[in-house]
Amino acid sequence: MLQVHGLEVGYGAGRGVVNGVNLHVDAGEIVVLIGQNGAGKSTLLKGIFNIAPFRRGEIMLDGAPVFTLSPPALLLAGLAYVPQSRSLFPKLTVAENLRLGGFVLRDRGTLERRIDELQTLFPILAERRRDYAASLSGGEQRMLEIARTLVMDPKVIMLDEPSIGLASRMVDLVFQTARKLAERGAAVLMVEQNVKKALQASDRGYVLELGRIQIEDRSATLIDDARVRGLYMGVRVASGERSRA
């Protein structure tokens, strides 16, 4: 569904952050990007969504080239991006925020139908549809951000640190939501610092170090990888354990 080939992303001459990344995400699967702070994970997502100053490479969405498309055009084509920082309109209600998610839709009937479907998928949002976004808990706000993105019925959803700052119960809910999206046929690409839970919730993973993919494997395999456990899960690794890197 999403194919990235030789992607380079940076912030000007001599400031490359992502260097020659190749990855893919298929329909119905969750793929997680892990790596230490500064590895280039968020920059990679920004490069895919064309909001980085410098980028080079090839990006295909459902077989069509989309590298040159603007963010609004990418959204219309089926690629959605939920950034790490909160992006809600705090002084608008839940219902108003959802409607803004479909600002490029001209068919109001389609917009209202999708919002109704999303309120079924996220019952808490239906219950609080008249409340201001600012009054929601951190987890509820993240649910609203994801739901607002889904108004456009995207084929691929990119989530940047969706569990950051959330209580443990809400972290689990975020990952359960990502699984629901995959079960509905979407391709989910997720950057996440909660490595163990992210790998448990995903199908495949990539380890990004200094802007390059160093390890790629099934998530179940990465959980048992000595290098991943030692560097990203804080697990003390026995000297005899071997890494797949």
Could you report the per-residue pLDDT of 56-103, keeping only the tens digit for each?
A: 999 999 999 999 999 989 988 999 998 887 778 889 999 899 888 887
Residues 219, 211: Cα–Cα separation, whole Å: 20
State the CB neighbour count (10 A cutoff) for residue 127: 12
- Nearest to 225, CA basis, from 208, 201, 207, 209: 207
- 1-78+154-245: in CATH 3.40.190.10: no
Q: Which helix (H) or strand (E) holds 10?
A: strand 2-10
Pairwise CA distance, residues 8 & 94, whole Å: 37
Domain boundaries, the chain: 1-78+154-245, 83-153
Pairing of strands 54-61, 64-65: antiparallel
> Residues with Cβ < 8 Å from 27, sequence gap 6 or more?
1, 155, 185, 186, 187
Q: Are the C-beta atoms of 70 and 51 separated by less than 8 Å?
A: no
CA distance 117 to 201: 24
Judge contact between 190 and 198, C-beta under 8 A.
Answer: yes
The residue written with tokens 């002084």 in the block is 91
What does pLDDT average to in each consecutive run of 10 residues of the chain (245 residues)?
93 77 96 89 93 92 94 91 84 90 79 84 86 88 86 91 79 84 91 88 92 91 84 60 50
Show Cβ contacts of residue 243 under 8 Å, excluding neighbours closer than 6 positions: 225, 226, 227, 228
pLDDT of the residue at 5:
95
Q: How far is CA 64 from CA 67, 75, 116, 153, 231, in A?
A: 9, 14, 30, 18, 37
Compute the distance between CA of residue 75 and CA of residue 69 in angstroms, rounded to an integer. Answer: 9
Q: What's the pLDDT at 51? A: 92
What does the block give as tokens for 38?
């500064």
Between CA 15 and CA 17 the distance in angstroms is 6
DSSP string for residues in 38-90: TSSHHHHHHHHTT-SSEEEEEEEETTEE-TT--HHHHHHHTEEEE-SS----T
Burial 158-192 (b: 16+ CB within 10 A, else e): bbbbbbbebeeebbebbbebbeebbeeebbbbbbb
pTM, two decimals, is 0.85
